[in-house]
Structure 1
């Protein structure tokens, strides 16, 4: 039971990270019907910005891990929030009327530029960087299941972040404006909503969530590298498709389902096929998503749509 419990907990942690990335894809697609393929690399930039902030605070002889953690989170969120808004302002909006493939290709190339820029210009950026362990690592025993306090804090923080974004979207005036733009941008303009400002805020919000996911991933694995956003971006997009692109609930559900597939793969593949490494869990999860997409192309929760006359 302790082994099963550990698998479940690992699945919850991974599912939270994937869900936070998938929600960003869903927000971008909701307001402009575009796929921002540089989203994963934006996450990577945020993680490196947080690492640089934590290192800078340490060089100032600030020994408190909580102050370093606060500096890390603030730097990651601010840098990626501004980066996401800048991408929307100078790349996405100018291409809004262009064919969707133009936006897809432009953001794909932008992701490569950001990834290679970090690799070239961040000190020793080609190699994996140790991520500081800033959370308490005491263990909590629950009936044979040993859980680390830092992982529990990360889990609670991720749930709080998703809950806060859900509250923002569904219970505030800003969220109402975002939903109005997602429903019908032209009508939202006529109703007095600043279309461009809402788009910039939405891209900033989705990118900031990705930054938090990147920081959580670094704190969970205790390292990051310039390629971390590539895999997380693909997984986040797959999770959004799995749940139903354009639906926040579907993105969250898809994130946890993809993590569940990975956990099932890592637990069953070595038992079914001797000598196969557990790293093939990603192959198992992606294969399952491909089969599911062929069976249900709209995802688990299809986006509600209506034809305007």
Structure 2
């Protein structure tokens, strides 16, 4: 199972068109950098969702990673359904995958906010944390039990062009470039939505002072529901991107992605979108560095220990800067 492992190219040869840097050929370094960018984009999209939820209601929604998993499986179900109808056009299947994943998780996020988060708004924060943590387990087990053969990894259809450009040992694949560009466009679009639209202004008003925003005519509940729908839809897109990148999904894929996304949000400064994005890319960079350096320094240690290296580094960074890399401003939470 490929899971969330960093894709490592085949061992390099002594003769390579690229020069080497400290023993690593440039082709391999380029592969690591691109892998880091792809992972960082996925982590950043998950972390932005945590930031949006915390921004409007001061809550940590620990079922966010499992919402991502539900979106990926909803997209896979749409693809399977079209295949059964003998509709095999990749662009139609991709459109159906994205639309189904976004709609299902957007609705799921709004339902969670309406019937779980808002009723617990005045309860102690630990109540909300525990409720969403248990909800994540429910979602995960429901997919495992009720999705056909849900306990086993499911192949995700390759719906993007796979042509590759050989750059002297570094294969730049078209599907990876499309995924990276799409992720950049999504994050940019969310940023513009938050900073340049009336809805974004309403989100920032609710994040700053919900009661005052309500007195000024802003529909507090509607803003909360739409914000949770937006964050959940971003998680769905991250899940689809993860499936297209690794060509595989499984019922517990959201567990690790949720923890990493939350760690990235905390590392960047919970409540700050820019910090969440930086945290996502920084965590991916730590994973890539770990997967590259650990086997080189200690041959007996496999690159699978990259997660241990990344989380240990995050712990040290949090101890050094507890407020995150970009401290939250009380007057501008989102």
Q: Take 1:144 and 1:274, find their aligned partners in 2: how far apart are those partners?
A: 24
Asked if 1:212 corresponds to 2:237, the answer is yes
Following superposition of structure 1 onto structure 2, how do residues 152-301 of structure 1 map, counting pairs within 5 Å? 152-301=177-326
Offset at 1:127?
0.2
Asked if 1:5 corresponds to 2:50, the answer is no
Q: Take 2:239 and 2:60, find their aligned partners in 1: how far apart are those partners?
A: 19
DSSP 3-state at the match of 2:119: coil
Offset at 1:214?
0.2
Instruction: Tell me the equivalent position of 2:167.
Output: 142
TM-score w.r.t. the length of structure 1 is 0.98
How big is each residue's C-alpha offset from its partner over 1:250-300, in whole Å with a ceiling of 9 and x where there is no partner?
Answer: 000000000000000000000111121111000000000011111111000
Q: Take 1:63 and 1:21, find their aligned partners in 2: how far apart are those partners?
A: 30
DSSP 3-state at the match of 1:147: strand
TM-score w.r.t. the length of structure 2 is 0.91
More helix, by proportion: 1
How big is each residue's C-alpha offset from its partner over 1:118-174, in whole Å with a ceiling of 9 and x where there is no partner?
Answer: 000000000000000010101012344211100000001000000100010000000
Q: Take 1:275 and 1:166, find their aligned partners in 2: how far apart are those partners?
A: 44
The Cα RMSD (Å) is 1.0
DSSP 3-state at the match of 1:94: helix
Q: 1:40 aligns with which of 54, 58, 65?
A: 65
Instruction: Tell me the equivalent position of 1:129.
Output: 154
Q: Take 1:268 and 1:63, find their aligned partners in 2: how far apart are those partners?
A: 43
Q: Which runs of 5+ in 2 are unaligned?
A: 1-25
Q: Take 1:76 and 1:30, find their aligned partners in 2: how far apart are those partners?
A: 24
Asked if 1:103 corresponds to 2:128, the answer is yes
Q: Take 2:257 and 2:88, find their aligned partners in 1: how far apart are those partners?
A: 31
Instruction: Tell me the equivalent position of 1:87.
Output: 112
Runs of 4+ in 1 over 2 A off after TM superposition: 141-145
Instruction: Tell me the equivalent position of 1:73.
Output: 98
Q: Which runs of 5+ in 1 are unaligned?
A: none
**Between Structure 1 and Structure 2, how many residues are aligned?**
307
Q: Take 1:190 and 1:142, find their aligned partners in 2: how far apart are those partners?
A: 59
How big is each residue's C-alpha offset from its partner over 1:74-97, in whole Å with a ceiling of 9 and x where there is no partner?
Answer: 000000000000000000000000
